[in-house]
A and B are shown apart, each in its own frame.
Chain A
Amino acid sequence: MAEMDTSSSGGHKKGPGVKKGKKLSTRIDLTPMVDLGFLLITFFMYTTTLQKPKTMEINMPYKDDNIKEEEQSKVKESTAMTILLSKNHRIYYYEGIGSDPTKPPELQVTYFKPKGGIRDAIIEKEKKVDELKRSGALTAKDQATILIKPDSTSTYEDLVNILDEMSINDVRIYAIVDITDVDRDFIKATEQANGGQ
């Protein structure tokens, strides 16, 4: 514990000297101070967080019940790609907007992998659109457009991940749209063709 050295050889005290004629030196044991310090550190470690939450800005397409369905047809088939989010983080995608009932689109399956996943598919689509612009089939104002249709079995994480892929790949035009029964049928057909998974 703290000790008082009353021998006259001491003399490290800062305060006014004792008038008794004996110089007292105090040596304080700092162990409890260190305990207190670590206690406070542990308190702050548990109750605070280093991570500042970030936000992602979302702009949903303007919806007004008075506007008729003219908006739908404004997306050009050749610029568009539809992404369907399904269960277990599975993604189906196809070219175009799937509006032609005589030519059902071919669904491809992928996942959120850094290589060979949806990112590569999106980059491919952007390259195709660039080629079409160079060959003159599309004007300079046309850009790759992606329609995101989450199924009822997908999770919020899938949605955020796909929106993140939009900003990672610099896709400027995209929209979150309700999934249609037609798309659900496509998914069912693909699942059955692949052994009902």
Chain B
Amino acid sequence: MPRKSTNVDMTAMCDVAFLLLTFFMLATKFKPDEPVTVVTPNSISEIPLPDADIMMITVDPKGRIFFSIDNQLKRKDLINDVDEYKKLGLTEQEKNSFAIGSSIGVPFSQLKSFLAASPDQQKEMNRSAAGVPVDTTNTSDANELAAWIRMARNTNPKLRITIKADNNATYPEVNKVIKTLEGWKIFKFNLITGLKAVPPGTAAYQVSQGKQPQ
């Protein structure tokens, strides 16, 4: 028998590939550059995370605290304020590194060397960093988180405060953050959670089905 050609028509395969690609491009968002992986607990709450004006306080499983706000222009304002207030002597380049970066997990004393490092070095430093120091009272100098929060709210009064903590972060560490917020009279904030289904047979389930809870 004469040999038959083995050329397969790849058009269909190409269509499928680009369909999948388009799906991923439209339906997903880029993972934000995180200094540390945090697995958040799940809740039935369906309130979406707002897109802008967010202050994110991240607490990792070991209790280290990282601080960030969104919007590069506001970040630039914030670092300018921090530089003035703490007299860190940051260069323009270091300030820009802050503006395009993500979270800060180092005390003020190490901030200049952190910002002077390259992004790869910053990733390394974040792995072993001690986090932003926090204390029980807002007036003490040791509570640097309180200072960051105050200055951030000065640059952007509309900031919404969110806490993204890991499942295994101990309650006392998260409580320090909450107490710091209460020190600035912030009693309303958001906890970032994953979504879990409403358990059937409960009051919330009946509400979701449109009936009145008993």
Contact = CB atoms under 8 A, between A and B. Distances in A.
Contacts of B30: 47-48
Nearest to A31: B10
Interface string A24-39: 0000011101100110
A156 B199 contact: no
Interface stretch (B15-23, B87-95, B119-127, B138-146): B15-23
Interface in A69-115: 85, 114
A127 B120 CA distance: 57
Given A44-B25, A50-B27, A164-B45, A156 B169 contact: yes
A156 B170 contact: yes
Interface of B: 7, 10-11, 13-14, 17-18, 20-21, 24-25, 27-31, 40-49, 59, 162, 164-172, 174-175, 178, 182, 187-196, 198-199, 202-204, 207, 213
29 contacts: A29-B10, A30-B11, A34-B13, A34-B17, A37-B18, A41-B20, A53-B40, A54-B45, A54-B49, A54-B192, A55-B45, A55-B48, A56-B45, A57-B45, A57-B189, A60-B187, A85-B171, A123-B202, A155-B168, A155-B170, A156-B167, A156-B169, A156-B174, A157-B41, A157-B167, A160-B191, A164-B193, A168-B202, A169-B204
Interface of A: 29-31, 33-34, 37-38, 40-41, 44-45, 47-63, 85, 114, 119, 123, 150-161, 163-164, 167-170
The 6 closest A-B pairs by CB, nearest first: A37-B17, A48-B28, A170-B203, A30-B10, A55-B190, A157-B167
